[in-house]
Amino acid sequence: MSILINKDTKVIVQGITGRDGAFHTSKMKAYGTNIVGGISPGKAGQQVEGIPVFNTVEDAVKATGANASVIFVPAPFAGDAILEASYAGIDLVVCITEHVPVQDMIRVMPVLKKNNTKLVGANCPGLITPGECLIGILPGMIFKPGNIGLISRSGTLTYEVVNMLTENDLGQTTCVGIGGDSVSGLYFIDLLEMYENDPKTDAVVVIGEIGGDAEEQAAKFIKEKMTKPVVAFIAGQSAPPGKRMGHAGAIISSGSGTAEEKIKAFNAAGVPVAKEPSEIPGLIKEKLGL
């Protein structure tokens, strides 16, 4: 099994006729993702990679039965694109767009909750269930079907760690890049609960980073609710206070959100924290008795 997406997921691409939308549509389709339509206002009737283009998400859902959407529209319009998908009944929205204004995300979140819409992102690489469905910009060739779940705030670290897992014959159920913005959709606890309930996931890798307290909350959830082994890595261990490190949410403020605090919380929950990403496969094997 997997979480969130599988071979039956019907995907539409919002912004399919743009440069990034068209490019990544071709990559997702080549991987085997079931892309059933695209959205580009005023361009209904056109095709991209043989995929029909619609004016609105509502039109696409009615014509195709789509239940997932991936967003490649410019940042000023991404919030409205998320809302359009939610109001059209899309179950899962994946927003790749970065630099989405915080106030737009604050406006979007209550609507998603009301409509029971799941959001991954914004400013994320997307997610993949290896061998079945890829939604986003992940390099599909490094993933391998297996029994390890992965959640990451960092896109590039996702690729690095997954490549190491695959090289060590540790395949994955579903890997989710949640992004590094300060206001985001599904986060550690949401996904940890899904992995805990997925019979095919035997262990989980959590890749966190400095800033906020999401990792501390995740550690508390793992200690109280999870039966499956979890291994972690925290990026930004040498970051100075008050300096943002890459992601909008990766900033240590007023002495909180440090790597040291996050590592301490995970260790207290029985979660081993790798000093370097290269240690993760060994820690997973140790946890699984391999």
DSSP string for residues in 148-202: EEEEES-HHHHHHHHHHHHHTT--EEEEEE----SS-SS-HHHHHHHHHT-TT--
List Cβ neighbours of 36 (8 Å cut-off, separation of 6 or more).
Answer: 10, 11, 12, 51, 60, 64, 65, 66
The whole-angstrom separation of Cα 275 and Cα 40 is 45
**pLDDT averaged per 10 residues in sequence order, the chain, 290 residues:** 94 97 97 98 95 98 98 97 98 96 96 98 96 97 97 92 97 95 92 97 94 88 97 77 50 61 92 95 95
Report the pLDDT value the prediction gives residue 267, as an integer from 0 to 100: 94
205 strand-pairing partners? 150, 231
Report whether 156 belongs to an annotated binding site. Answer: no
Q: What are the structural domains of the chain?
A: 11-121 (3.40.50.720), 139-288 (3.40.50.261)
The pLDDT, as a whole number, for residue 45 is: 95
Non-local (6+) Cβ contacts of 276 within 8 A are none
Catalytic machinery residues: 247
What's the confidence (pLDDT) of residue 237?
Answer: 66
pLDDT at 247: 47
Q: What Å distances lie between residue 208 and 12, 218, 235, 273, CA to CA?
A: 29, 10, 6, 10
The annotation status of 166 as a binding-site residue, yes or no, is no
> Considering the entire predicted model, what is its pTM?
0.92
Q: Is 17 annotated as a binding residue?
A: yes
Q: Is 159 annotated as a binding residue?
A: yes
pLDDT value of residue 37: 98
